[in-house]
Amino acid sequence: MTRPHPKFAVWLLACLLWAMAVPVPAQDSPKPFTQQQLDELLAPIALYPDARERRLHLELGLAYGRVGAIEGFALDVGYSRIDRSLSGAQLAAGLARARDPKGVQIAPVTLGEGQGSGLNLAPLAINDSLTGMQLGAVTFARRLDGVQLGAVNVAGRVTGVQLGVVNVAEHVDGAPIGLVSVAKNTRASVLGFASYRFPANVGVKLVTGSVFNELSFGMSPDHALGDRRVVLGRGELVLGAHLPAGRWSFEPGLGYAFEAPLEESSTRERHQVASLRATLGLGLSDSFGLWVGAAARVRVEVEGGATDEQADALGGIQWTP
């Protein structure tokens, strides 16, 4: 076994003693840079060195623009920041950030801090509180009085309309319109019903404010198709208005369904179905209710079969846990 060289051991011991002798800065010791100095490292090139303290009517920036307030128009290629207030329009090719924005914010990402009013237009639109409209692919707001329009809308309290594929909120006073709309004041019910066209159906209905979403699946066990009788399956999504009046409720809605046989036969048949329906419900208790309704259906041929119009009658029970 090779023994370590004595000189190596001496150098190693000297390094350890030097490291132990170097004082460690205390947590409250002065920092090498102040926050103002760090900000100045990224400070924009501006006509006014104190632009962040000024109220301007026009601001044009390249990579980074920062001003105190805008009453007019701000345009930046990169990041636009308004510290106190915006009254007008703010456009950026990167991030548009403003406090108490009143007017229009347009950018790939917009951030409205404080109380805002007007239009927030961005693929990713974020607001603390907004009276007006958010328009984007994904929208966030702690409080919204107006309209949220996006593929995914997320909010705290909403007074107005959420329109998107997925709507999520803590509380909605208004109309969340989408494939899935969920809030703390959403009521979920389980449905069991029969119709003239499909005798056996089960589904789930979500009611939030004055809007309902319903997803159901049904079967027709004795459907004539080709050389035999087969089981026909159906999946349907209905979106409509929930109009309560005491223990009664009226629900007009629009539906989309896809129908296809669940068994093989000599003939293949697929249909898309658009429907207009209306139902009348009666609550027997807080958990159980009965409902009946009628629907006008238009079946459009997808594969085989024919395009036609049909009338349907339906009725069933619902249970709300």
Question: For 11-30, how does the pLDDT look when each residue is reduced to its tens digit (9 = 90+)?
Answer: 555 555 554 544 544 545 55
Which of 132 and 44 is assigned the larger pLDDT? 132
1 pLDDT more than 50: no
Is 161 exposed, middle or buried, given 0-12, 13-18 or 19+ CB atoms closer than 10 A?
A: buried
Instruction: Name the pTM for this structure.
Output: 0.70
Phi/psi at 6 (5° precision) = -60, -35
What's residue 13's pLDDT? Answer: 53
Which segments within the chain are labelled E, that is strand? 55-61, 64-76, 79-92, 95-99, 101-106, 109-121, 124-135, 138-149, 152-163, 166-177, 180-183, 187-195, 200-208, 211-225, 228-241, 243-245, 248-261, 270-283, 288-303, 308-319
Query: What residue spans in the chain does CATH classification 2.40.160.20 cover?
Result: 187-319
Give the per-residue pLDDT at 316.
Answer: 96
pLDDT of residue 46: 47
pLDDT for 30 equals 57
Average pLDDT score over residue span 295-300:
93
At residue 229, the pLDDT reads 76
Query: In this predicted structure, which of 58-67, 114-123, 201-210, 285-294 has the lowest mean pLDDT?
Result: 58-67
Q: What is the pLDDT of residue 260?
A: 86
pLDDT, mean of residues 264-278: 83
What tens digit of pLDDT does each residue of 82-123 get? Answer: 888 999 999 999 999 999 999 999 999 999 999 999 999 999
pLDDT digits (tens, 9 = 90+) for 41-79: 444 444 455 556 667 778 777 778 888 888 989 888 889
**pLDDT score, position 266:** 62
Domain 187-319 belongs in CATH node 1.10.760.10: no
